Chains A and B, each alone.
Chain A
């Protein structure tokens, strides 16, 4: 049996099955969501009132607990009044997939409910900018510092203990301080992303740099490389692939600080959007916004993975990429 081989420890599934499983990993949760949403007896703890009948406080379109609905109808029956009618429904915070899909689309086409509120895409764009600047500032300092720590023990001894200490402080703890220093707009938010990313970044990059095969350094030395050449011609290219992959993971890390960062000072970006929609009880939009964050993060990561294959054609896994073929024409033997 083929399927029995799936459960052999550490054995790889075929690339075809792998692709199917990859799709299934998305399809299965969506399917569960569909079942909960569209099959009435699975959950549906509420009744959506269609006709209030004689019940004085029922309104068309209101959601009522099933037990309350039944109890009220019993009273009405006893009193000889007309009964309320309704259909089973899920709570308002669990919209059905099609409703979310629709609001995903409508989010970009319908103007915000209140004048002056940002559109969905404006909120998103604002959030992306916060992430971009936070991550850029963090990387501008963190990557060189991490590499220095990895290469020179003196840098490592001088910075890593305090970085290690600071990284245990939750980034949001600096929120009040950031607002006091940087005001209430974007600056403190960027600062939170920076704090959340930077300290991890230094340690991760330093570790990656340390993992470079020392025999490559030794080989370069016996070939006459001097110190600056060792750093720029051996260490940097040697760690570039792992460094790039670290940056992908760290970018994901930066995203996880986004919502907290945007709560600080004047709420803004996608967080503000989500909160506003939740206040209006338009949970379709809340879901749509959350899913959008996922889509953006996932797509960015896929694009970066693809770019990685283009930038580093010497990796075992990648074929010579389109970009590298464009910039460095390879003569094929």
Chain B
């Protein structure tokens, strides 16, 4: 099968990107560089995220994805460069940039409801207001039955749903997600991806999503920022040609595969990785029944 070029967009997709380009920029990153001694995990990274855009940042492990999102969240400081949120430079963590971590970071001593209320209470809302707001967010992620449960009583997927509700309850300008489904099993992960698209459709939120899973990136995103290693830089920002609404059937559509192949090439350039065969020799007698 010959695949189309990943840059070919159907009229609907092209129109959607045209609309996105007209929206205001929520987060602008300019020449962000981070050095640890002689190591430069991030070298002059620039990107913008527009309102209600879903941007996936993809890269091989060790390319500085996590460092990037931690800097964007204000948990680490960049060596140089700046981050503008709605045109205003930000430093340090704040509730305007919500974050969902890869590990489970629900407060174990608080119930689901109290966890979701945490940010609302920090912002000075009354107990009563934050409680009713928290309930709405909990029901949005379908966990109303568990609002009085403690985190240890929940499954991994449920915990991440609470974490999403907790981050969204603060109404952040942008939701930063650091491989949030990385610790989940394949089936739960697929379900969570679908949930996330649903949530994103119903909530006015811009998402910057870090992942190393190519399928996940193509399935979720509007744009995919591929980080290259050695030297670390933005390899390419790809406009995802797969039309919305997304379904899992699209995983085998020509646009999907073309995009997938392109990302794959960027992350593992063919020339630099000759397939290295392990020097396997027969150490045991092998029967003929194994192919």
Which residues from chain A sit less than 8 Å from chain B, CB to CB?
A: 213, 215-216, 218-226, 229, 233-234, 237-238, 240, 312-316, 330-333
Contacts and interface: CB of A to CB of B under 8 A. Distances in A.
B74 interface: yes
A218 B75 contact: yes
A224 B148 contact: no
B109 A238 contact: yes
A222 B148 contact: no
A223 B122 contact: yes
Nearest to B143: A333
Contacts of A312: 109
A225 B123 CA distance: 8
B109 A237 contact: yes
A332 B146 CA distance: 9
Given A216-B105, A238-B109, A313-B150, A223 B75 contact: no
Contacts, number: 79
A315 B108 CA distance: 8
B12 to A, nearest CB: 35
B108 A314 contact: yes
A223 B108 contact: no
Contacts of A220: 107, 118, 122
Nearest to A313: B150
B167 interface: yes
Interface string B99-131: 101010101111000000011001100000000
B59 interface: no
Contact of A223 (B103, B109, B149, B167): B167
Contacts of A240: 109
B74 A221 contact: yes
A224 B166 CA distance: 12
B148 A330 contact: yes
Interface stretch (B32-40, B90-98, B219-227, B249-257): B90-98
A218 B93 contact: yes
B150 A314 contact: yes
A230 B159 CA distance: 22
B130 to A, nearest CB: 12
Given A314-B108, A314-B152, A333-B146, A215 B101 contact: yes
Q: Lowest 3 A-B CB distances belong to which pairs?
A: A224-B95, A223-B119, A221-B93
B258 interface: no
A331 B93 contact: no
Interface in B27-84: 73-75
Contacts of A314: 108-110, 150-152
A216 B109 CA distance: 11
A223 B74 contact: no
Nearest to A332: B148
Contacts of B145: 333
A330 B101 CA distance: 29
A222 B150 contact: no
A161 to B, nearest CB: 28
B229 interface: no
B170 interface: yes
Contacts of A225: 118, 122
A190 B105 CA distance: 42
B109 A222 contact: no
16 contacts: A213-B105, A216-B107, A218-B93, A218-B101, A220-B122, A222-B75, A223-B170, A224-B122, A224-B123, A234-B107, A237-B107, A314-B151, A314-B152, A315-B152, A330-B148, A332-B148
Contacts of A223: 95, 98, 118-119, 122, 166-167, 170
Contacts of B101: 215, 218-219
A286 B166 CA distance: 61
B105 A215 contact: yes
Contacts of B118: 220, 223, 225, 233
